[in-house]
Amino acid sequence: MFTASAGNHGLAVSYVAQEMKRKCTVYVPVNASELKLRRLINGNACVEAAGKDLYESSEIAKRQARKVGGIFISPFSHPDVIKGQGTLGMEMLEEAAVAFENLIIPFGGGGLLAGVGAVFRTHSPDTKIIAVHPEAFNRNFKDGLSAALRKGVYPTVADGLAVQHGVEDAELLQFVSPLIDSDRAVSEKEIECAIVALLHNEGILAEGAGAISLAPLISDLGGSDIQGNTLVIISGGNISTSSVMKCLATHECNSNSAKLLGHQSVKRVAEMEREYIVSEGSLVVASDREAECVEVSIWFGLSRKLVARLDALLRDIKRHKEYAIGEGLDVDLETVDYVFRRTSEVITELNKVDSTTHDLDRMRSVYRLKLQEFGFLRNSLAWCSASNDQSGRVMFFDPQENNEGSLNYDRYGSMLLREVEIDLLLSLGFDTGSQDLLLVSSGQAAYTVIESFLLGNVLVPGASIVTSPYIYFEALEQLERLKHIELTRSKTWDLDSLIDLVNAKDATVIFLDALANLGEMNVLDLSGLARKLEAQSWGDKWLVIDGTMVSGGVDVFALFCAENHPTVLYYESGSKYLQFGMDLQMAGVVVAPKSHIAKLAVSRRNTGSVMYQSAVTKLPDYDRKIFLIRMKLLSKNAAFFVEAISNEQNLIARLDIAYPSDWYALGWQHGGGVVAISMKDGGFNNRACLEGFIGLLLQRCRERKVEITKGVSFGFSTIRVSAAAAMADNMPPFLRFSMGEENSVQMLAITQVTIEVLHEFFDKFDRCEK
């Protein structure tokens, strides 16, 4: 037996299969609700995550059923499923004390409406059937039900209704269509309000796909649209805590609706409409024109460098063509000419972006697109394993590859890779005469290369490793897997205690993180450590430093350069600051003394961690000056954000805000753009509460037309917020704000909204306690 579902249908089919002692596999979308997935697994269902939505999951389940000769039980169109749902209609009519003028039914695939609607058409033919569906699906039933339901679905709080029909569902649609008297498309906010209204007034916790039926009535409290006795079907309680919190944060300005949602009391409405305003006088607003010029210089500079790369590509294409023709090789001139022509066009398009452009979003967007076009064009004629000789057919791009002595294998590196590595080394502020850099496929790949090197060249069985209280959780997990190594984590950030621990354990390798990605954002003073080590004999030890959070901000090799200092290996994720917020791929870097780079390169090759040419071309090209201009802009915005919130005495009494404000005193070139906020009352530091705050913040920003995004990672051009957690430490989540390239006016706006929402967030909970 096979089915596709992420809710009760999957549980039901799985239960029946177990009772019948038959095998059953439930396919769920890869982005299925965590709660629904957990219930399926806890119900002993055999679960396979496949497909981006229920439609794709269903198609995969059908193919698998046909392949093994099994049966597929549709969650909405199987006749027995429809009949089963029809029994709900019979029960309602048997228990009803009045006749109903209206019946409101959630509409997803149509199974519930088909079953219940058929019963009402037979036994209560005068009842009007109203189908309710999410507005997010953009379905217009007037264009025909079949066309509407074959459209793809989009994210919605009513995820149980996210169903797309296939050709084989045509028979169901023919049956359902005459049953529907009218339909209502409701917004996400209306669905969230319905969830809260049910919980506040009836004590019923329903998921969005069930509560959606109530939405048309809440938006029509006067009864001008839907009149008479109305029966509402509320089906499904599979809703996660975080979704509930997001809904509770929904704001309703309409007074009557606000009462229904518990946002206003009946007698003291005025007291509940308190507004919190941030005084502009308390915040120093810098020259907006000055900030704008800084941003323009960044992106205009990047655009000019991309034009230079494209010009170089034109020359390389000419050289490729001339060499191939000169050698009498069989080259596809039509393809080569197309690449040349398109490269010229991209240059022309980029040249339209000049330093007087004030639409920075447009400038960034154009650059991101053209960077990817450059990657495509540069790689369209390249080969991962280029030939170094041939009788006729061309299987190389750079004539330098066409050399008997060359080993053209992308996993071993490439000439293009080497050029970018040198540029990155300079941009990060390291000495090209003493250090070298290896570009790898991700930050974790960078760690893996270092681990492989240490295992092969440094560590012996029984060796000791000491780490700072925090290192990135995936790196820590890998270290914990090394059973022949003694691993010890320092319990304190105090430098003397760390040194004493290393000496007591006679540690060979010490892993450190300069700035912890935690709610406290603990700082490890590398300059102070280097000074204290002048009195130690650590020349035989190795110091591995993760610099992701302070990317390019401190030259660790210049700090630890004395004879009695340990040998330094540096790495960081290149997916954050090093990509200027382009977020086109994962990346990582390893930096080491030149004397060790060859062996590290072998580890990179043997672990398959190299960055291939197809990815190298999508990295932005910049220099040290441009990099630091951007990082200092992010730092400036972070400092502004921190100071403004810290000046709010009522807030600072209830939360802790963390940022390395003393970065200059630490000898860093910048402080990064990450700010962490934790609630002093630990009960607020759970993901559900923090997600509720974020939901409220996003809603207010939409109302004010203030730009913000929600998601993991940092280093983007637009401010981003997430409920982050240090997974390896099982520590409570915290709010992580990643500053973007906002100018002073934009920073003032986002800061004001954040402060207002923090007040509103605490106020909501204070009212609940009363």
- Asked if 439 and 303 sit in the same domain, the reply is no
Q: Does 88 map to a domain?
A: yes
Supply the DSSP symbol for 705.
T
Mean pLDDT of 620-636: 95
618 and 639 share one domain: no
The mean pLDDT of 547-564, rounded to a whole number, is 97
Q: Over the stretch 49-60, which tens digit does the pLDDT of each residue have?
A: 888 888 889 999
State yes or no: pLDDT of 550 exceeds 50. yes
Q: Kindly state whether residues 418 and 506 are assigned to the same domain.
A: yes
**Statement to judge: residues 473 and 506 lie in one domain:** yes
- State whether 549 and 600 are in the same domain: yes
Distance (Å, rounded) from C-alpha 502 to C-alpha 505?
Answer: 5
Q: Which residues contact 190 (CB under 8 A, 6 or more apart)?
A: 215, 218, 219
Residue 117 sits in the same domain as residue 30: no
Average pLDDT, the chain: 88
Residue 503 CA, chain-centre distance (Å), reads: 41
In the 8-state DSSP scheme, what is residue 649? H
Residue 265 has pLDDT above 90, yes or no: no
Quick one: pLDDT at residue 223? 82
Contact (CB, 8 A) for 512 and 543: yes
pLDDT given at position 403: 66
Chosen domain end from 203, 229, 264: 264
Q: Return the top range by mean pLDDT from 32-46, 150-164, 284-298, 615-629.
A: 615-629
Mean pLDDT value of segment 409-432: 85
Q: 389 vs 251, which has greater pLDDT? A: 389
* Report for 9-13, 612-616, 659-663: range of highest mean pLDDT: 659-663
559 burial (CB, 10 Å; 0-12 / 13-18 / 19+) is buried
- Distance, in Å, from the CA atom of 446 to the CA atom of 438, rounded to the nearest integer, reads 9
Residue 30 inside a domain? The answer is: yes
Task: Check if the beta carbon of residue 595 is closer than 8 Å to that of residue 725.
Answer: no
Same domain? 68 vs 103: no
Q: Is the same domain home to 113 and 255?
A: yes
Distance CA 141, CA 478 (A): 54
Confidence bin at 261 (pLDDT 50/70/90): low
Considering the domain architecture, whether residues 727 and 655 belong to the same structural domain is answered as yes
Amino acid at residue number 208: G
pLDDT reported for residue 53: 82
pLDDT above 50 (res 288)? no
Final residue of a structural domain among 600, 622, 644:
622
pLDDT at 562 exceeding the cut of 90:
yes
Is residue 749 domain-resident?
A: yes
Can you tell me whether residue 748 is helix, strand or coil?
helix
Over the range 589-607, which residues count as b (16 or more CB within 10 Å of their CB) and which as e? bbbbeeebbeebbbbbeeb
Q: d(Cα 639, Cα 648) in Å, to the nearest integer?
A: 15
Span 172-194, pLDDT tens digits:
989 999 999 999 999 998 999 99
Count other Cβ atoms within 10 Å, centred on residue 228.
12
Three-state DSSP class for residue 593: strand
Pairwise pLDDT comparison (42 vs 165), residue with the higher score: 165
pLDDT at 165 over 60: yes
Residue 278 lies in a domain: no
| Count of structural domains, the chain | 5
Q: What is the pLDDT of residue 254?
A: 58
Least confident range from 162-166, 382-386, 397-401: namely 397-401
Q: What is the CATH number of the domain that holds 639?
A: 3.90.1150.10
Report the alpha-carbon angle 530-533-534, nearest 5.
95
Query: Which has more pLDDT, 270 or 386?
Result: 386
If you average pLDDT over residues 292-308, what whole number do you get?
82
> Which one has a higher pLDDT value, 37 or 21?
21
- Residue 496's φ and ψ, nearest 5 degrees, are -65, -40
Q: Is the pLDDT of residue 108 over 50?
A: yes
In the chain the first and final C-alpha atoms are separated, in Å, by: 52
Provide φ and ψ at 55, rounded to 5°.
-60, -50
Using the predicted structure, report yes or no on whether residue 410 has a pLDDT greater than 70.
Answer: no
pLDDT bracket for residue 728 (50, 70, 90): very low
Same domain, 109 and 217: yes
Structure tokens, 145: 């039900």
Lowest average pLDDT, out of 101-115, 252-266, 510-524, goes to 252-266
CB 599 within 8 A of CB 710: no
Judge whether residue 391 has pLDDT over 60. Answer: yes
State which H helix or E strand residue 102 sits in.
Answer: strand 102-106
Give the Cα separation of 408 and 383 in Å (integer). 9
**pLDDT given at position 730:** 59
For residue 290, is pLDDT > 50?
no
In the DSSP assignment, the letter for residue 439 is E
Residue 134 pLDDT: 95
Q: What CATH number did the domain enclosing 140 receive? A: 3.40.50.1100
Instruction: Identify the weakest region by mean pLDDT among 5-14, 145-154, 371-380, 585-594.
Output: 5-14
Domain range for residue 132?
80-264
Give yes or no for a contact between 566 and 541, defined as CB atoms under 8 angstroms apart. yes
The answer to whether residue 387 is domain-embedded is no
Tokens of 702: 């939409």
Is 281 domain-assigned?
no
Q: What is the mean pLDDT of residues 31-40?
A: 76
**Do residue 39 and residue 94 come from a single domain?**
no
Question: What DSSP string describes 295-325?
Answer: HHHHHHHHHHHHHHHHHHHHHHHHHHHHHHH
* Across 349-353, average pLDDT: 88
The answer to whether residues 503 and 648 belong to one domain is: no
